[in-house]
Amino acid sequence: MTWFDESRLDDERALAGIDLLLRSLAESGARVRREAAGAAEPLQEAVRRAAESGRPRAVVAAGPDSRLLRAVLEPYCPVPFVAWPAPGLPGWAGSLDLVVVLAPTGADPGEASAAAEAVRRGAQLVVAAPEKSLVAQHAEGRDSTLLPVEGGDTLAMAILMLTYLNSVGLGPEADADKVADALDDVATACSPHRDISVNPGKILAISLADSLPVVWGGSVLAARAARRVAEGLRRASGRGAIAGDADDLLPVLEAARPRNVFDDPFAEEQPSARPVLVILDDGATDPIMVEQRRSLTEAADARGVRVEVVEANASTEVARYASLLLQGTYSAEYLRLGLVNDV
């Protein structure tokens, strides 16, 4: 039987067991700064080339991690934007277009094929990948720029690419320092050295311990963060966690049986886990999003379902996305730490 021992979240010996993982989360901001600093000169060269070539006909973001770029760019990009997670490129992409590739490891054959195809067709190509990697080798060409990265941190690489796209007028502000500051703020607030009473990461983990997390974000980026957070919760707990649009989540909340104050919490046979509505709030004020949030919270209140709100108050949309994602990741790891199996 698996149960949640919240005392482990403040237990130094238990926390020591996941020290490396927590250190990695705490260094998220530092990685963003490091990747930005390491690629500063190549990024300036890519911007110079873009100025000489003029605005592209379209932007193709290739590779499995292209969906994050799409979530950020679609509302802003002044030219058609396509996320292409499959190998190669769409048939129409050519010398008038810009191809960007995020290659976290630089070893993916699909990403390498996309880079090679962009070079063959004469497209402008900007690749974020480790130097001397498979993708970097296939990206060599007259109209290509490699943004060298250490690899492994997709978010840090995405911020680097978004900085380039903002510099050439194709995307919104994605200031690396602002993103890093937002990540540092989360790392401080969710530090393992802060106890349960004041640590938002631990508090959310406790709230989700015996529940079905139902994660919702209203804006495009908050919705992507919700999906990533739900994935992290599933991996951490081995239990269900769902994310989706408001119309998809409402039936889950409406199907929850009303809470009965007379239920015996120590009964051997317990009903299925009750949902907990987790709202990722990035400050979006679109009237449709406000109405969707109202519908979800009213449905939750009507059935006694707890509502947890995770807020991000950073100064840019991308920084708020990064903040929400890191807060959810901390909570997932604290949830994993607290779950124990009876022997």
User: Whose CA is closest to 140, among 121, 109, 115, 106?
Assistant: 115
User: Whose CA is closest to 25, among 189, 173, 158?
Assistant: 189
Q: In this structure, are residues 214 and 230 in contact, taking their beta carbons and an 8 Å threshold?
A: no
**pLDDT given at position 270:** 52
Q: What is the mean pLDDT of each run of 10 residues along the chain (343 residues)?
A: 92 95 97 95 92 93 85 91 90 96 92 95 95 95 93 89 95 93 98 96 96 96 96 94 97 86 54 89 94 97 96 93 97 96 72
**pLDDT given at position 267:** 55
Alpha-carbon gap, residue 330 to 217, rounded angstroms: 18
> Three-class SS of residue 71?
helix
Q: Strand runs (DSSP E) across the chain, as ranges?
A: 2-4, 59-62, 81-84, 98-102, 124-129, 144-148, 211-217, 242-243, 274-281, 307-311, 339-341
Q: In this structure, are residues 61 and 74 in contact, taking their beta carbons and an 8 Å threshold?
A: no
Sequence-distant (6+) residues with CB within 8 A of 2 are 339, 340, 341, 342
- The whole-model pTM stands at 0.92
**pLDDT given at position 1:** 77
Cα 115 from chain centre: 24
| Residue position matching structure tokens 């926390």 | 15
Alpha-carbon gap, residue 189 to 128, rounded angstroms: 31
Strand partners, 116: none
Q: What's the CA angle centered on 271, arms 268 and 277, to 5 degrees?
A: 130
